[in-house]
Amino acid sequence: MLLLLFPLLKPQGYYFRMFSMMFLWMGLSSAWNITSGFAGYIDFGAVAYFGIGNYATALLMTKAGLPFTSSVLISGILSSFIAMFIGRYTMRLRGAYFGIATLAFAEAVKQIVFEFDRTFKVTLFEGSHGITLPIVHDDRFFYYIFLGILFFIVLTAFLIDRNKFGYALKAIKEAEGSAELAGVNTRRYKVASYALSASLIGILGGVNAYWLTYISPLDVFSVIHTIHMIVMALFGGIGTVFGPVLGACVISLANELIGAKLLYTYLLMLGAILLVVVLFLPRGVIGLISMKRSRR
C-alpha cells in the first residue's frame, strides 16, 4: 500500500529508479525460487531467460513494430516454451549436474546471440553493438509496472506454496523417488515449475529492456545476474515465499549503496554472505526468524 502511494510524494527520479531496480531483483529472485527453492532443482542458468526476454522484447519492438505490452507477453511465452524444451532434457539430471547443464545452456545462448550476426552475415541480434529501444521518459510508468509484476510473482509463489502444485514440488525436492511412488508425475511438475519460472523471468527481462533502452549480450546474459538471484534467495530463505523478496531487498539495496563506488568490496560482501548463509543459516534470514519464534 505504502509503495503504491509513494509516487504521490513526488520524489526525485533517482528514487523511482532505485525502487524499480529493487522490485526487478525481488521479482527475479522470487521467480527463480519457484524452481530452485520449491522443487530443489538449483538453476544456474536462469539468466538465459532474462536475456531471452530482453532480446525478444527488443526485437519485437524495434524490428516487428509491436507495442510494448504484447512484446513483453510474447517474451514470457517464448521463454516458457524454450524452458519446456530445455527442462525436458536437463531435468533428468539432479543436483550439481542440473546446475552445470543449465549454466552451459545460458552461456551457449549468450554466445549464439553474440556471434549469430557475424557468423551468418545477417543483421538480427546486432552482436556486440547491442540494440537501442525507443526511449520513454517516465520513471513512474516503470515503477508501477515493476511493482505490479512483483506483486503478481509473489502472489503466484504464495498460492503455489499452499496448493497441490506446491506439495508436488516440495515432495520432489525432498525425495523424488518417493514422490513418484506416491503418484506424483514428477517430470510434468518439475518441468512445469521450470517453465513458470522462465516465463516470469522472461517477462521481467522484457520490461528491463524497455527500461534500460539499450541492451547488449554481455550485459543481459551476464552470469552475475544468476549469481545475484541465487545469493538473494539463499540469504532471505530459499524455498520460502517471502525469503527471496527479503534477500533481494537487502542485497540490491547494498548493491546500490556500495556497488557503484566500491565494486570489489561489494563482490567480496556477496561472497561473505554466501559463506555465512551456507555455514550458519541454511534456511536464510526467514528460517532464523521462524526458528526463534518456535523456540519461545
Q: Give the interface with other proteins as residue ranges (CB under 8 A).
A: 163-164, 167-168, 170-171, 173-175, 177-186, 239
Alpha carbons 274 and 279: distance in angstroms, whole number: 9
Helices (H), the chain: 2-5, 13-33, 47-62, 68-90, 95-120, 139-161, 164-174, 176-181, 186-212, 217-220, 223-236, 243-254, 263-280, 284-295
Contacts of 173 (CB under 8 A, 6+ apart): 38, 39, 40, 239
Nearer to other proteins, 109 or 191 (CB): 191
Q: Smallest distance, Å, CB 163 to other proteins?
A: 7
Q: Smallest distance, Å, CB 255 to other proteins?
A: 30
Q: Smallest distance, Å, CB 234 to other proteins?
A: 16
Nearer to other proteins, 38 or 98 (CB): 38
Alpha carbons 161 and 155: distance in angstroms, whole number: 10
Residue by residue, DSSP assigns 197-220 as HHHHHHHHHHHHHHHHSEE-HHHH
Decide if 56 contacts 66 (C-beta within 8 A). no
Q: Smallest distance, Å, CB 250 to other proteins?
A: 24
Nearer to other proteins, 118 or 164 (CB): 164
Q: Smallest distance, Å, CB 167 to other proteins?
A: 5
Nearer to other proteins, 4 or 278 (CB): 278
Nearer to other proteins, 107 or 180 (CB): 180
Q: Is 131 helix (H, G, I), strand (E, B) or coil?
A: strand
